[in-house]
Amino acid sequence: MTPEEMDAIVMAFPGVEKAMSYGSPAYKLNGKFFTRLRRDDQSVVIVDVGFDEREMLMEAEPGTFHITPHYKDYPSVLARIETLHPGSFRNFLERRFRKVAKKTAVKAWEAANA
């Protein structure tokens, strides 16, 4: 996946806005962190990934999923966009969308994507 493809997937979710975080392109939804691209390693930050799931992902696909010391205590994982499957990325974002979007936005999005 390229940064442009990543951007298109993220921006397909209603209400997402572009922002900056740690000097890198980031995305917010309802003022809350949605995801961001880490420029130093071209990895996307995926939040709301439990510690057990994160360990499983890193073990199954170590070339894609990883963490840095900064993220070790947070329920999140980093994924190299070059090897991250776009469908998997969309699924991770959908989980985050359902958590931070307004209920009416989630219902409208579900109806539009049924």
pTM: 0.91
State the pLDDT confidence band at 25, using cuts at 50, 70 and 90: confident
- The answer to whether position 73 is within a domain reads yes
Structural domain for 48, as ranges = 3-102
- The answer to whether position 107 is within a domain reads no
- The answer to whether position 110 is within a domain reads no
Domains identified in the chain, total number: 1
- The answer to whether position 114 is within a domain reads no
Instruction: State residue 108's pLDDT score.
Output: 87
Q: Hey, what are 56's tokens? A: 């499983």
CATH number of the domain within which 92 lies: 3.90.1150
As a whole number of angstroms, the distance between CA 101 and CA 73 comes to 24
DSSP 83: T
State the pLDDT confidence band at 110, using cuts at 50, 70 and 90: confident
